[in-house]
Amino acid sequence: MTEMTAEQAAEWGKSLDFPAVWAALMETRTRIDTLGEKVDKTTENVNKMAEKVDRVASNVGGLNQSMGELVETLFASHLGEKFDAYHYNLKRTFGRVPIYDDTNRQRGEIDILLSDTTVCMVTEVKRWLDNTEKVDEHIKRMQLTRKYPPAESKGKKLFGAIAVAVVNPEVREYAEQNGFFVLELTGEDVRLLESPKDFKPKEW
């Protein structure tokens, strides 16, 4: 488990052709917005657009990472400070943290683990948050993290977040109902979406 400083995460991102990747993501988001309610009901349309983004990414010169890894990279820098309003001091960042069970078998992986002295934020990074199954997968990941905590999270309060480039409003609502923070990529930064007034982050 390797800790990344904000500076290291930023340097990592410099190796990417950001304008090309961002243009592909934003083109896809625009197409989704114009579909309106049809997107909510037609998963097939969303999947076709996801395939298009994958094809665009594969053609961007010098990019050998998957779209998921690219989005993860774009989110990593200064992610912890987005939770300052909740008085979390998440200054430590770890990428790709494996979850091992008692027999040392890997049971899962955390995309980005943020931590301070008392709190850990298990962050899953997705291109799309377009169906509730992805939220359910993160619920299972949270359960595994609690049952088999990586060294950095032992004895700490455990919360969960999902960071995405494109989010379906209904699925976002489902994620928040399950106590997850939801973050969205905007320009060259990431923002924590405003939660409902009755939102209460779940401690796992």
Q: How many domains does the chain have?
A: 1
Query: Which pLDDT does position 157 carry in this prediction?
Result: 94
Q: What confidence category does residue 63 fall into, taking pLDDT thresholds of 50, 70 and 90? A: very low
Distances in Å between the Cα of 121 and the Cα atoms of 17, 87, 114, 157, 181 are: 28, 13, 5, 9, 10
- Tokens, residue 5: 């400083």
Question: Does residue 170 contact residue 40 with C-beta atoms inside 8 Å?
Answer: yes
Cβ count within 10 A of residue 83? 21
Query: Which pLDDT does position 191 carry in this prediction?
Result: 81
Q: Give dist(CA 56, CA 116) in Å, integer.
A: 38
Backbone angles phi, psi at 129, to 5 degrees: -120, 80
Residue 18: pLDDT above 70?
Answer: no
Query: Which pLDDT does position 39 carry in this prediction?
Result: 47
Which residue pairs, CB below 8 angstroms and at least 24 apart, start in 173-176? 174/132, 174/135, 175/129, 175/135, 175/138
pLDDT tens string 103-145: 999 999 999 999 999 999 999 988 888 999 999 999 999 999 9
Cβ count within 10 A of residue 102? 7
- Mean pLDDT within 54-79: 58
Residue at 2: amino acid letter: T
Question: Does residue 163 contact residue 190 with C-beta atoms inside 8 Å?
Answer: yes
The single-letter DSSP state of residue 91 is: -
The domain of 76 spans: 1-204
Token pair 């699925």 in the structure block, residue: 171
Residues 6+ apart with CB under 8 A from 28: 49, 50, 52, 53, 165, 166
